[in-house]
């Protein structure tokens, strides 16, 4: 890290062939900036998938980041993606055994993304469970470049916990069937954003904000407010 900091942005030391490969698919206006040395190029590391409610909003983030970077005179590229799993989906299933291990896979995948050395800064898109710790490990490994994290925001409130608990109790007593139980669970977890309880996704968002790695207040912007995202 110290050697990298002393050497300066690695992009300035890449060969013309390296740079041509890195920016081949960029729009022409971006290429002009990217092949120069003055404009910053931001690497986006994303944990997007649309199975995790907390990560589904990240689908549109790269386009917003590129737009903002261009307005500031720079550019942005998706450097790479990392896996993201949900403990809520795998709880009680064999997949849960992979949860902790996935942290190191995420750190390695993010490191691979940034190892192209084309970036002057990085933005990490991730929220849940082991994803944020894995991304933090990668950010620390590449600590010679500035980094920021962006949250997806919270899911709006759904079926209250006491009502959901009552439905579960009725199901356990055999008073209602699976359809009624499923309807209650879906009413509780009903949209995009972090799950509606004090779980790891919400605490991760708050932790990053406390550490100064989020824009202030970003953890409280619900995904539906796209204008606020901009």
12 is a domain residue: no
Largest CA distance in the chain: 71
User: What's the predicted TM-score (pTM) here?
Assistant: 0.88
| Residue 219 belongs to domain spanning | 44-156+191-229
pLDDT in tens, 9-30: 677 778 889 888 989 999 998 9
220 is a domain residue: yes
167 is a domain residue: no
211 is a domain residue: yes
Q: What percent of the chain has pLDDT over 70?
A: 93
24 is a domain residue: no
Q: Listing from the earlier edge strand, what are the strands of the sheet with 75-81?
A: 75-81, 41-46, 121-125, 147-150
pLDDT in tens, 81-113: 999 998 888 888 888 888 889 999 999 999 999
Chain center to CA of 138: 13
Tally the domains of the chain: 1
162 is a domain residue: no
In the chain, which ranges are continuous DSSP H helix? 2-7, 16-23, 28-34, 61-71, 87-90, 99-114, 131-141, 161-172, 178-188, 200-210, 226-229
33 is a domain residue: no
152 is a domain residue: yes
For residue 138, give both structure tokens: 């990668």
Backbone dihedral region of 145: left (phi > 0), alpha (psi from -120 to 50 degrees) or beta? Answer: beta
């Amino acid at each position: 890290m110290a050697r990298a900091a002393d050497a300066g942005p690695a992009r300035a030391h890449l060969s013309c062939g390296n740079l041509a490969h890195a920016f081949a698919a960029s729009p022409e206006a971006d290429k002009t900036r990217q092949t120069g040395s003055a404009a910053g190029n931001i690497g986006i590391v994303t944990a997007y998938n649309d199975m995790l409610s907390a990560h589904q909003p990240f689908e549109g983030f790269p386009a917003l980041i590129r737009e903002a970077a261009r307005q500031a005179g720079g550019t942005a590229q998706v450097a790479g993606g990392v896996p993201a799993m949900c403990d809520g989906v795998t709880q009680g299933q064999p997949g849960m055994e992979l949860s902790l291990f996935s942290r190191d896979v995420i750190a390695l995948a993010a490191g691979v993304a940034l190892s192209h050395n084309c970036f002057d800064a990085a933005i990490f898109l991730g929220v849940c469970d082991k994803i944020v710790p894995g991304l933090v490990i990668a950010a620390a490994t590449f600590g010679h470049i500035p980094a920021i994290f962006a949250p997806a925001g919270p899911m709006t409130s759904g079926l209250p916990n006491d009502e959901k608990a009552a439905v579960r109790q009725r199901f356990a007593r055999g008073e209602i069937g699976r359809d009624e139980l499923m309807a209650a669970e879906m009413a509780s977890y009903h949209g995009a954003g972090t799950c509606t309880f004090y779980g790891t996704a919400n605490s991760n968002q708050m932790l990053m904000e406390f550490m100064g790695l989020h824009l202030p207040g970003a953890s409280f912007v619900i995904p539906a407010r796209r204008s606020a995202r901009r």
